[in-house]
């Protein structure tokens, strides 16, 4: 999946004008809030890990894929494909979904399926080190991140130990999606 030189340079321009703290979900400026939930991760570490994971599935980091990763890192919640496209005006629509699938297969992107029309995408937790849970609205499909609380994590760890002991299963991590109605749909 080669990216044309023209496409690559336009994506580089698009990416250069975006920084993780300035892109809102809808592509508008959102300077303060995006830093609140996501702890800044060592940039070099994530970039290296993204490249390594792509290499491990026989793919490489193209301009379009780097742009998608940048947009997802900046977002405060998992994004739909249309939201991703809206955040990077020069992202090629035709290849964006295909690139998301490649990023998902490489373990870089995690897909959250809701009963809304569009699935949502976020960077894998083991990449960002940002463990969190989701509030999933079963009416409008909105998905919000909520930080994991120390109290919940501790009580869950005890429960998981118990389950592992009684089933012989080895739990490596967990995902919690609270499903219900968001503020707007309540």
Binding residues for Zn ion (CB under 5 A): 137, 139-140, 142, 148, 182, 185
Residue 39: which of 145, 119, 115 has the closest Cα?
Answer: 145
Least distance between Zn ion and beta carbon 71 (Å): 22
Least distance between Zn ion and beta carbon 23 (Å): 22
Nearer to Zn ion, 100 or 142 (CB): 142
Nearer to Zn ion, 65 or 77 (CB): 77
Residue 114: which of 182, 186, 37, 177 has the closest Cα?
Answer: 177
Alpha helices in the chain (DSSP H): 5-16, 34-37, 43-56, 63-74, 81-87, 93-105, 125-128, 150-167
Nearer to Zn ion, 12 or 181 (CB): 181
Q: Can you tell me the distance from the alpha carbon of 53 to that of 123, in angstroms, rounded to the nearest whole number?
A: 13
Nearer to Zn ion, 68 or 137 (CB): 137
Least distance between Zn ion and beta carbon 137 (Å): 3
Least distance between Zn ion and beta carbon 31 (Å): 25
């Amino acid at each position: 999946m080669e990216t044309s030189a023209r496409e690559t340079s336009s994506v580089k321009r698009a990416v250069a004008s975006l920084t993780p703290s300035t892109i809102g979900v809808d592509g508008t400026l959102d300077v303060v809030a995006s830093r609140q939930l996501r702890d800044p991760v060592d940039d070099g570490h994530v970039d290296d890990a993204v490249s390594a994971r792509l290499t491990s599935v026989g793919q490489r980091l193209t301009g379009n894929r780097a742009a998608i990763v940048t947009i997802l890192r900046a977002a405060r919640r998992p994004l739909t494909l249309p939201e991703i496209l809206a955040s990077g005006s020069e992202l090629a629509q035709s290849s964006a979904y295909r690139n998301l699938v490649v990023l998902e297969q490489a373990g870089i992107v995690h897909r959250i399926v809701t009963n809304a029309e569009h699935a949502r995408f976020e960077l894998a937790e083991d990449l960002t080190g940002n463990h969190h849970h989701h509030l999933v609205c079963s009416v409008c499909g909105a998905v919000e991140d909520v930080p994991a609380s120390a109290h919940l994590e501790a009580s869950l760890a005890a429960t998981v130990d118990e389950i592992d002991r009684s089933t012989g299963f080895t739990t490596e991590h967990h995902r919690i999606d609270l499903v219900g109605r968001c503020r707007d749909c309540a």
